[in-house]
Amino acid sequence: MTERPDGSANRPHTDGLPKTQPLRPSQVRQNVNAKRMLMRLVQGDSPPTAPMNIVDRLAGSPYANPTIQVVGVDASARKTIDFALHLAEVMFRYGAGALEVETSMIAVTAALGLKNVEVDITNQSVAINYAPKDQTPITLLRVVRSWTNNYAGLAQVHQLVTDIVAGGVGRDEAVRRLNEIIRSAKPFPRWMVTMAFGIFAAVFVGVLGGGIGASAVAFASNILISLLSRQLARWRTADFFNTMACSFLVTFIALMLRWAGVEIAPSIVVAGGILLLLPTGRLVSSVQDAINGFPVTAAGRFLSTLLTFGAIVAGIGVAVVVGTLMGSAVLDVTQTFPDAYPLWIQAVLIAIAVVAIGVTEQTQMRLLLPTAAVGIVGFFVLWGVGQAGLGDRLSPAVAAVVIGLLGRVVALKLGAPQLVVAVPAALILLPGLTIFRSMYALTVEGGDILLGAGGMLNAGAIVLGVAAGIVLGDNLARPLTKGLSSNERRRVRRR
């Protein structure tokens, strides 16, 4: 390269090189889009160490994308936090799971204008930390010390949260409505709940293979243990001894009938009598909490579940010892029986049983028949999958997926949370009875320890499959239920 007199360099000739055409506007846009896509692939949409926004926890729930009613920092944040804690306490007391409580609290605080909120839930306590920038943080804790069956109240709380998220209810109105829900009477009187306990036991003894006589004994036994449990609760007796006394009573009645010469298998009477003592719903809820990311809550519920199973086994063991001393025959609770009724009668009995469960759980009247329909569908799926040869482990899991899916669709369509429909319908799968039989064989019978331990592992696999199936069905139904919550919000805005 030479230098010209004016100081500029002589450039090489480029006449022989190919000409470069200027980029068209469309090519420029394509290059920009390609660079942007490459950056997303390399870096992601957000920095990898950025914390997840707590409102993102609502994705997939009925409360996604809440309507914010307050702009900026709420001057009365303490009142909003108190309301959210009270709401969570009521939901826990009425039987809600940890995930439902958490999403409801996040949705309510977000809709009422609170940012910088963190929610922490353990087995029986709920904590909220509110820490706005450059302000004194607020941390409040609420402990839940009592529980009651009230699915109707839980459905009303769900509707209240839906209205708050839709922007149609302010905080003062929400507080008033929550107090009305707490003070409102349950749908069914106490005597009807007692009768429902007996009806459930009677019809399910028929499903398990018992005849009319066994169903009648199971009905009377459950009426007695319901009255006994209520009296022990008045005396402030611990739940462990309450459950132990009830299981002792139903077993002793069955043994004495056999001792008196009544030709009814005592094992099926005992199985029918303890069905509602079994913590099946709590057992499934503990596994669901573990799957949904609440290990502490799941561990607490699982421990209380094991104690309940232990109380049932202890009560039956004491009754067996007393009955043996009186000359009664040996009791084999693990015994199974052939079907006593055709399939269509079993389906009718399943529907009656689910309705009875709904009454004991104080479900709203309008939800009883839809819940029974979901239970019947789950029963036929269980039967069909079993006929296909998928085995005793996989069949309940497949039926649970269908129950979880239909439970979410039906519940949101009727303005209720999924568990209000799914839990009563899933009780027909009887995972708790499998656990009980394995624990009884391992402890009371004292037979082969390895066989009993294998039965416990098999029962645990069935319970895990049922709980995971309900959660999976709920997740699979989310794309089908996106419009249900939005339709409800539009109705609220038109009021």
The first and second tokens of residue 24, run together, are: 């068209």
* DSSP β-bridge partners for residue 31: none
- Residues 241, 447, 331, 194, CA torsion sign: positive
pLDDT at 368: 93
Whether 14 is covered by a domain: the verdict is: no
Whether 52 is covered by a domain: the verdict is: no
If you average pLDDT over every residue of the chain, what do you get? 78
Dist. CA 95–CA 190, nearest whole Å: 18
pLDDT tens for 322-363 read 887 877 766 666 666 677 788 888 899 999 999 998 998 899
Q: What is the mean pLDDT of residues 402-406?
A: 92
Question: Do 163 and 236 share a structural domain?
Answer: no
Whether 55 is covered by a domain: the verdict is: no
pLDDT at 457: 75
Question: Do 209 and 157 share a structural domain?
Answer: no
Dist. CA 252–CA 256, nearest whole Å: 6
Which helix (H) or strand (E) segment holds residue 129: the answer is strand 125-130
Question: Do 255 and 391 share a structural domain?
Answer: yes
Question: Do 397 and 263 share a structural domain?
Answer: yes
Residue 118 dihedral angles phi and psi, to the nearest 5°: -125, 140
Task: Map tokens 């039956």 to a residue.
Answer: 316
pLDDT at 434: 67
pLDDT at 275: 75
Whether 17 is covered by a domain: the verdict is: no
Whether 29 is covered by a domain: the verdict is: no
Dist. CA 344–CA 243, nearest whole Å: 34
Burial class (CB in 10 A: 0-12, 13-18, 19+), 309: buried
pLDDT band at 495 (very low <50, low <70, confident <90, very high): very low
Question: Do 394 and 306 share a structural domain?
Answer: yes
Using the predicted structure, report yes or no on whether residue 403 has a pLDDT greater than 60.
yes
Write the CB contacts of 170 (distance below 8 Å, at least 6 apart in sequence).
69
| 337 in Cβ contact with 208 (< 8 Å) | yes
Domain final position from 164, 183, 202: 183
Question: Do 259 and 179 share a structural domain?
Answer: no
Using the predicted structure, report yes or no on whether residue 386 has a pLDDT greater than 90.
no
Domain final position from 183, 204, 238: 183
Which segment of 95-99, 165-169, 213-217, 487-491 scores lowest on mean pLDDT? 487-491
DSSP 274-290: TTTTS-HHHHHHHHHHH
Question: Do 329 and 263 share a structural domain?
Answer: yes
- 128-167: buried (b, 16+ CB within 10 Å) or exposed (e) per residue? bebeeeeeeeeeeebebeeeebbbbbbbbbbbbbbbbbbe
pLDDT tens for 15-72 read 554 555 565 666 656 666 656 655 554 444 444 444 456 665 566 566 665 655 544 4
Question: Do 230 and 129 share a structural domain?
Answer: no
Which helix (H) or strand (E) segment holds residue 271: the answer is helix 266-273
The first and second tokens of residue 475, run together, are: 């997740």
pLDDT band at 288 (very low <50, low <70, confident <90, very high): confident
Domain that holds residue 471: 190-493
Domain final position from 132, 166, 183: 183
| 270 in Cβ contact with 250 (< 8 Å) | yes
Q: What is the mean pLDDT of residues 112-133?
A: 84
Question: Do 425 and 286 share a structural domain?
Answer: yes
Whether 47 is covered by a domain: the verdict is: no
Residue 416 dihedral angles phi and psi, to the nearest 5°: -140, 160
Question: Do 477 and 416 share a structural domain?
Answer: yes
| 126 in Cβ contact with 74 (< 8 Å) | no
Whether 153 is covered by a domain: the verdict is: yes
Extended strands (E) in 276-337? none
SS3 content of the chain, % helix, strand, coil (to 5): 65, 5, 30
pLDDT tens for 362-372 read 999 999 999 99
Question: Do 355 and 456 share a structural domain?
Answer: yes
* DSSP β-bridge partners for residue 129: 118, 139
Using the predicted structure, report yes or no on whether residue 221 has a pLDDT greater than 80.
yes
Total number of domains constituting the chain: 2
pLDDT band at 206 (very low <50, low <70, confident <90, very high): confident
The first and second tokens of residue 247, run together, are: 């299981």
Dist. CA 121–CA 126, nearest whole Å: 5
Dist. CA 404–CA 379, nearest whole Å: 13
CB count in 10 Å sphere of residue 65: 14
Q: What is the mean pLDDT of residues 135-163?
A: 87
Question: Do 224 and 156 share a structural domain?
Answer: no
pLDDT at 373: 94
Whether 42 is covered by a domain: the verdict is: no
